[in-house]
Structure 1
Amino acid sequence: MLAGFRAFFAASVLALSALISVPAAAGTLQCAPFARQVSGIEIYGNANTWWGQAEGRYARGHQPRVGAVLAFASSRSMPVGHVAMVSKVVSDREVLLTHANWSYRGGIERDVRAVDVSANNDWTDVRVWYGPIGGLGTRSNPANGFIYADEPVTIDQPVQVASADAAGGAAIRSAF
């Protein structure tokens, strides 16, 4: 009986030491820090604040581009929104996303399918691949649009705007 207790005790200590070796402060990887890291877009805070924070700092729009961040809006199922980087543009209504904390708590997913299902083809309603069912999720998700990492906007920097001159040719002017 004593030998059985010793074996049980040794196994318990071994199991406990495996648990202790995991840092207690190790948290769950969230989408915003991951998107910031992979895209280079220096925005902080919850994902639902990225779209507003990008205004005046980064170009924003509704056309997918590699490296852009798709900013999902808050919804009942996503109260703090979501952000994901576009890793490939498949078509004007389909992209592949790289993101964290979507299908699996704290997990990273690379090159997963996302489809624009908005009525106006403007990426304001999106369905995203969901790992547990092995396909596009069963619901669509509201989105604000794309934040473009390669086009920072500076308030005191002139922006060149192309416009047609009186003869119909293109002219470039600077605007503030």
Structure 2
Amino acid sequence: MRNLFPLLFAAALLPLGMPAGAKTSLLDYVGQCVPFARAASGIAIYGDAWTWWTQAAGRYQRGDIPRPGAVIVFERTSRLPLGHVAVISRVVDSHVVMVTHANWSRQNGERGHAEQDVTLTDVSPRGDWSAVKVWYRDMDGLGSTIYPTYGFVYGSTLDHGSRAQPAPELTGRDPDYVGALIDSYVR
């Protein structure tokens, strides 16, 4: 599957207006969070973002500890009627991670763009990642909204027959760890 990733990702970008011979990058993606998370994590789940948690049951390992390459699944709410999924790109500390995701902040006045190494912080009372805040470009910091989550879907299948391969562009070379901690702990 790892060798097929560039071809599959290029094919996924064709309907989005990318020319067939164009050099494609995960970060050039514009669209919904679900196809992006699937391409970035290698986890083969389809359907609305909020359904990933139940769809993963019996197929993929799930839990409440962030790991690079895992997908965090946001619950469906009035603000997120289809939920949201984001891929963990870096673990900064036990309550702060960085995610790479699509269709969150506005860029050039529109949603859908991919964002790499965005701060996400655990604000749950039990420290179990069941409630998070997400860095939002329009505020240039953590948003004020608290989003409920189900947990993390990991790339290993339960039958141990395969392991999803996250995209090489999942994280940048020099993520801003200090900025992520400042965003999370200075409120």
Normalised to the residue count of structure 1, the TM-score between the two structures is 0.71
Identity %: 49
Distance 1:142 1:83 in 2: 12
Aligned with 1:96 (options 98, 118, 122) = 98
Larger radius of gyration: 1
1:106 CA displacement: 1.0
Residue 152 (structure 1) aligns with: 157
Structure 1 position 103, deviation (Å): 0.6
Q: Distance in 1 between matches of 2:136 and 2:77?
A: 17
Change over 3 Å in CA distance of 1:87–1:24 after alignment to 2: closer
Q: Match of 1:89, as an amino acid?
A: V
Question: For 1:65-111, what per-residue CA distance to the aligned partner results, in whole angstroms no more than 9, with x for missing partners?
Answer: 00000000001100100000000000111000000000121111000
Structure number with higher relative contact order (C-alpha < 8 Å, ≥ 6 residues apart): 2
Partner of 1:32: 34
Unaligned 5+ segments in structure 2 are 1-13, 18-28, 162-187
Where does structure 1 differ by over 6 angstroms across 4 or more consecutive aligned residues?
Answer: none
Alignment coverage as a number of residue pairs: 133
- How far, CA to CA, are the matches of 2:63 and 2:16 in structure 1? 38
- Kindly indicate whether the alpha-carbon contact (under 8 Å) linking 1:56 and 1:155 is maintained by their aligned counterparts in 2: no
Q: Map 1:15-164 onto structure 2 (within 5 A).
A: 29-104=31-106, 105-149=111-155, 151-154=156-159
8 A Cα contact 2:30 2:114, kept in partner: no
- Output the TM-score relative to the length of structure 2: 0.67
Give the unaligned 5+ runs of structure 1: 1-22, 157-176
Query: Over aligned residue pairs, what C-alpha RMSD do you find?
Result: 2.1
Q: Which moved more, 1:136-145 or 1:25-34?
A: 25-34
The structure whose residues are more often strand, as a share, is 1
